Amino acid sequence: MKLMRIQPDRERAKSLIKMARLRHGKINLFDEESEVSLIIEIYYEVAKELVTAILFIDGYKTLSHMDLISYLKTNYKDDFDTFEIELLDQLRKNRNKIVYYGMFMESSYLKMNRKTIITIISKLFDLCERKM
C-alpha cells in the first residue's frame, strides 16, 4: 500500500461525508433498469468518499483506489467481511469499466448485489460517524 502519513484532517473528512450523503441521496432519481451503470458508479463514488474520509480521520491519504480498499481490509476487518471487501473491489473495477470504457452494466448485477452494497455503505457511514 502506498499511504502517505498526514495530520488527521477531520474537516476534510466532514466535507467528504457531506458529499457522500449528497450523492447517496440522488441514487433514487435514476431508473434501475436503464441507468444501472450510473447507479453503480454513484454507489462506488459514495463508498470511495467514505473510505477516503476514514483515512483522513486516521491520518493517511492515498491516490490509489486499490489502496483505499486494502486499507479497509487490513485495518477494519472486524467491520467488513471478506465478501463485502470483494464486492467493494468489484464495484471499483466496474466503475472503472463504466467511466473509462463506456461499459453498460446489466440490471441483474444491481438486483443481485444492491442489498450488500447498501449494507457496506451504511457500515461506512456508521464508521465515519463513530470516528468523528
Neighbours of 128 (CB within 10 A): 21
* Pair 17, 128: CB distance under 8 Å: yes
Q: Where are the domains of the chain?
A: 9-131
Position 115 scores a pLDDT of: 97
Tally DSSP H helices, then E strands, for the chain.
Answer: 5, 2
Q: What span, in angstroms and rounded, lies between the C-alpha atoms of 111 and 114?
A: 6
Give the homologous superfamily in CATH for domain 9-131.
Nucleotidyltransferases  domain 2 (1.20.120.330)
Give the pLDDT confidence of 80-123 residue by residue, as tens digits: 999 999 999 999 999 999 999 999 999 999 999 999 999 999 99
Give the pLDDT confidence of 23-32 residue by residue, as tens digits: 999 999 999 9
Identify the band that residue 74 occupies on the pLDDT scale cut at 50, 70 and 90: very high
Give the pLDDT confidence of 31-72 residue by residue, as tens digits: 999 999 999 999 999 999 999 999 999 999 999 999 999 999
* Pair 68, 62: CB distance under 8 Å: yes
Q: What span, in angstroms and rounded, lies between the C-alpha atoms of 1 and 19?
A: 25
* Pair 39, 30: CB distance under 8 Å: yes
pLDDT at 7 over 80: yes
pLDDT at 1 over 80: no
Q: Which helix (H) or strand (E) holds 124?
A: helix 107-131
> What Cα–Cα distance (Å) separates residue 67 from each residue in 21, 27, 56, 98?
22, 26, 14, 20
Identify the band that residue 125 occupies on the pLDDT scale cut at 50, 70 and 90: very high
